[in-house]
């Protein structure tokens, strides 16, 4: 153990050990309340976990304590190292007190917290928000009559376009179109009988084929 070490770690604590029971056990050496004789600046407790499956190791609980002086850490390690905890099943757990490898601890500035404590009630934005909630509800707008509600809404631009279209539409309505003259109908042409005019087709001349051989010449006579 170094002379400047002030942070201790307590290992191998029961996984089901509550934090209140542990701090009650180390109360003679670890005190953080301002009303009592303080011996530590910062404390932290990490709850362990019991393994749910067989053959799996339990996760033990761990405690971290930062003392004011190295002498207080030495006194705590001398008296609490080897302390035995026994759970409901009769299993014994031996506490192991050692110097923490990382001596830095979390810092908390209570003055900064106290400065901003209760400041939201005095903020102008919060006061305006509360006033808007407490104010009576605004009066609802009166309903429009049925005749006005159904009337179409017009704008100056729509009226101008309507007035511009009215003069151009009036001559178009008064303009009379000339009567349309019927087109002369053409007499139907007689249909030509293609069968009557077509010349009769002449049958092709039959071909004569000689299938018999000519008779042989007569035999010659010798004197």
pLDDT tens digits for 147-193? 555 667 778 888 888 888 876 655 555 566 666 676 767 766 766 65
Domain ranges of the chain: 7-99
Q: How far is CA 34 from the centre of its chain?
A: 48
What is the C-alpha to C-alpha distance for residues 65 and 94, in angstroms, rounded to an integer? 18
Q: Residue range 123-142: average pLDDT? A: 83
pLDDT at 8 over 90: yes
Q: Under CATH, which number does the domain 7-99 receive?
A: 3.30.70.330
CB 62, CB 9: distance < 8 Å: yes
What is the C-alpha to C-alpha distance for residues 50 and 87, in angstroms, rounded to an integer? 12
Position of tokens 């761990």? 62
Q: The pTM is what?
A: 0.47
């Amino acid at each position: 153990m170094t002379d400047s070490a002030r942070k201790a770690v307590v290992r191998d604590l029961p996984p089901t050990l509550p934090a209140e029971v542990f701090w009650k056990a180390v109360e003679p050496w670890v005190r953080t309340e301002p009303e009592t004789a303080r011996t530590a600046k910062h404390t932290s407790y990490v709850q362990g976990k019991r393994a749910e499956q067989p053959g799996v190791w339990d996760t033990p609980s761990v405690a971290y304590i930062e003392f004011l002086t190295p002498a207080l850490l030495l006194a705590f390690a001398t008296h609490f190292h080897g302390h035995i905890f026994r759970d409901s099943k009769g299993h014994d757990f031996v506490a192991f007190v050692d110097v923490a490898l990382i001596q830095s601890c979390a810092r908390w500035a209570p003055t900064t917290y106290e400065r901003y404590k209760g400041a939201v009630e005095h903020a102008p934005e919060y006061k305006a928000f509360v006033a808007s909630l407490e104010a009576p509800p605004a009066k609802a707008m009166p309903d429009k009559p049925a005749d006005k509600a159904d009337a179409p809404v017009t704008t100056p631009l729509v009226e101008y376009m309507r007035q511009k279209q009215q003069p151009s539409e009036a001559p178009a309505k008064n303009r009379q179109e000339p009567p349309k003259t019927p087109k002369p109908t053409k007499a139907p042409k007689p249909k030509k009988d293609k069968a009557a005019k077509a010349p009769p087709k002449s049958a092709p001349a039959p071909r004569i084929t000689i299938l018999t051989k000519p008779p042989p010449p007569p035999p010659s006579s010798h004197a």
